[in-house]
Structures are given as C-alpha cells and as structure tokens.
Amino acid sequence: MVEVDPAVCVLCGLCVGVCPPDAMRLTPTQLEVLPNCTECGWCVPYCPVGAIHGGRPIRGRTRRPEPA
C-alpha cells in the first residue's frame, strides 16, 4: 500500500475520488489507505501537499494532472 504522512495530510479528500479501486477513505481525523490498494500510484500527484508516498511511478506523468 502507499503511505500517507498524517503530519502532512490536510484531509482535503482530493485523493479519495481519483483512486481506481476506491481504496482511500477519509475520516474526520485521518486518511486511510485500505488493503485493496494496488499501489498503482495514481493518487500520488493529485495530493496538493505531497503527503502520499510510494506506489509505482507512472510513465509519462511528470506533473500534476488537471482535476477531472
């Protein structure tokens, strides 16, 4: 699974909506990564504060994509 640094995460929820297998869950106090995370890395560049670490690098993605 990818890891979210709780000291950096601002609980904005942006990452939750972009996760293909719906493996992120926002609670009032933390962002949880669920066991069905595939480590695809898709969520990483969406985090505005860089709180998500790990996942596979995605070829050709060198900057944060525009929101859908």
Which residues are near ligand SF4 by CB under 6 A? 2, 4, 9-15, 19-21, 23-24, 31, 33, 37-43, 46-47, 49, 51-52, 55
Q: Which residues face 33 on adjacent strands?
A: 24
Q: CB of 62: closest distance to ligand SF4 in angstroms? A: 18
**Closer to ligand SF4 by Cβ: residue 44 or 62:** 44
**Cα separations in angstroms, 51 against 47, 64:** 7, 14
Q: CB of 61: closest distance to ligand SF4 in angstroms? A: 12
Rounded CA-CA distance 57/26 in Å is: 24
